[in-house]
């Protein structure tokens, strides 16, 4: 891996060495894939210097120039899809078929925002009194810090970089230390595609808090976009306050999956397996709490157990359904929550035991008979664990689904138009999947409410997070 992918920092158009390094581990084999150079606060300052110098010239690029750059990056990512898939599977464990799907998904953000870049518009209107003409002009907000998680190392980078570049913002990309190689490969492609020096900078580091603190303390940084835990996001918001930097935060999720009495059972089971087991459950919009109507509880539970028991587990680079979790520490946290869920009255129906041998594997697990106050129904497990609770009426399940500080995604299975409308109006989440296993697409805004975040990524509004609106008023001349 060290020979195949860049392992250094990328600052002002150059690959830069650091004195310190950290290991990237293959979670399936526990082998060291690469030793990556670790950025320091001094490197962060150099990157911000570069981004600040490049900002004015890049903002002056025409929309078509920025669109062409993004199209070029998109084409190069697609051409090297297998390389990206192999890298993601090796450094974070996901099965190759899912890694290939992430390449397609992640690349689409580049193409979507290439199209958005060429179609930015302001507006014009007279004031109601008829005394002023107002012109609204939009311009790039300025240098941005983009902090990405380990679970979707390509898609989370493109979902942030693409709208920033489309808007004309220079960037500093800080990838997760568990999965920095995919980001390094992406940045190497951006360099090859002709991005000017300073427009994209890469700071892998084992000292993430030191990097973000250095950058947020500098008023030249105008925005931070972060995907990760609510705790870390709250700390970043606090650190951004003195310089009033704009924040986009895609934070924790605790998605309810509601199966009403009139649901199509087979569709619901298929969707439950897909949304629970995607990326081994390590997805912020994965179903976390399964609420099943009394009348379907037995059949749904039996069907889910049967389907999940058939999934094969192993190294993601082999033909398997389930890869390892990302780290030993993360597996320990998943197993601890399962143990606490059982102690609180949940019944283990499948899995729930760390297997012997090498790798950070955890089997598909089903816990039944969960009360609404069970820890598994109130804490994000972020693993291949389905916790099932029964409900008897619509009001009860809506209250239970909303009884959390989180509100990222929710899934509702029903054939009733009235229940669909009620879910749209009353479920306290930013995204709803109706009879579906997913809520995510480059064309659709991604984000949550309450403690699940601020702002939206992707969709028609994604680029707005990187633009300032300037109102220009002139006396109206008759």
Which positions are catalytic? 250, 284
Contact predicate 118/64, CB 8 Å: yes
Task: Give, as one character, the DSSP assignment of residue 214.
Answer: H
Cα 410 from Cα 412, distance rounded (Å): 7
Cα 273 from Cα 437, distance rounded (Å): 8
Cα 45 from Cα 63, distance rounded (Å): 29
Contact predicate 338/375, CB 8 Å: no
| Tokens 């360099």, residue located | 191
How many other C-beta atoms are found inside a 10 Å radius of the C-beta of residue 478?
Answer: 3
Cα 134 from Cα 179, distance rounded (Å): 47
| Tokens 């008759």, residue located | 478
Task: Give, as one character, the DSSP assignment of residue 443.
Answer: T
Cα 426 from Cα 48, distance rounded (Å): 43
- Region for 338 from its dihedrals, namely left if φ exceeds 0, alpha if ψ lies in -120 to 50, beta otherwise: alpha
Cα 110 from Cα 117, distance rounded (Å): 10
Using alpha carbons, select from 219, 202, 368, 375 the residue that is nearest to residue 291.
Answer: 368
Three-class SS of 443-472: CCCECCCHHHEECCECCCCHHHHHEEEEEE
Side-chain-side CA neighbours of 429 within 13 Å: the count stands at 30
């Amino acid at each position: 891996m060290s020979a195949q992918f860049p392992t250094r920092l990328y600052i002002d158009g150059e690959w830069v060495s650091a004195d310190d390094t950290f290991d990237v581990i293959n979670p399936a084999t526990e082998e060291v894939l690469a030793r990556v150079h670790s950025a320091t606060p001094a490197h962060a300052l150099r990157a911000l210097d570069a981004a600040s110098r490049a900002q004015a010239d890049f903002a002056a690029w025409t929309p078509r120039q920025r669109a062409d750059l993004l199209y070029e990056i998109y084409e190069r990512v697609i051409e090297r899809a297998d390389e990206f898939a192999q890298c993601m599977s090796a450094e974070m464990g996901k099965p190759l078929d899912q890694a290939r799907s992430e390449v397609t998904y992640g690349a689409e953000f580049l193409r979507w925002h290439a199209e958005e870049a060429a179609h930015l518009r302001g507006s014009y209107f007279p004031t109601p009194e008829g005394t002023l003409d107002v012109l609204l002009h939009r311009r790039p907000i300025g240098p941005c810090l983009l902090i990405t998680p380990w679970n979707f190392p390509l898609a989370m980078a493109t979902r942030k970089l693409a709208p920033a570049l489309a808007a004309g913002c220079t960037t500093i990309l800080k990838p997760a230390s568990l999965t920095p190689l995919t980001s390094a490969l992406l940045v190497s492609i951006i360099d090859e595609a002709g991005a000017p020096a300073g427009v994209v900078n890469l700071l892998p580091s084992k000292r993430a808090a030191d990097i973000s603190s250095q950058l947020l303390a500098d008023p030249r940084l105008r925005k931070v976009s972060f995907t990760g835990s609510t705790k870390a996001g709250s700390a970043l918001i606090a650190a951004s306050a003195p310089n009033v930097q704009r924040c986009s935060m895609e934070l924790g999720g605790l998605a309810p999956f509601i199966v009403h009495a009139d649901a199509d059972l087979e569709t619901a089971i298929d969707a439950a397996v897909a949304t629970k087991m995607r990326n081994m459950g390590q997805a912020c919009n994965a179903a976390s709490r399964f609420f099943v109507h009394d009348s379907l509880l037995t059949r749904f539970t039996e069907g889910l157990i049967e389907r999940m028991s058939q999934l094969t587990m192993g190294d993601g680079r082999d033909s398997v359904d389930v890869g390892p979790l990302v780290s030993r520490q993360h597996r320990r946290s998943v197993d601890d929550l399962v143990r606490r869920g059982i102690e609180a009255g949940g019944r283990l129906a499948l899995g729930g035991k760390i297997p012997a041998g090498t790798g950070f594997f955890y089997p598909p697990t089903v816990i039944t008979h969960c009360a609404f106050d069970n820890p598994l129904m109130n804490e994000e497990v972020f693993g291949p664990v389905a916790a099932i609770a029964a409900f008897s009426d619509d009001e009860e399940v809506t209250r239970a689904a909303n009884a959390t500080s989180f509100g990222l995604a929710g899934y509702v299975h029903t054939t009733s138009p009235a229940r669909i409308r009620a879910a749209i109006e009353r479920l306290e989440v930013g995204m709803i999947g109706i009879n579906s296993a997913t809520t995510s697409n480059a064309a659709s805004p991604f984000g949550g409410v309450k403690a699940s975040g601020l702002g939206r990524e992707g969709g028609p509004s994604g680029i707005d997070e990187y633009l300032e609106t300037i109102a220009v008023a002139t006396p109206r001349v008759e």
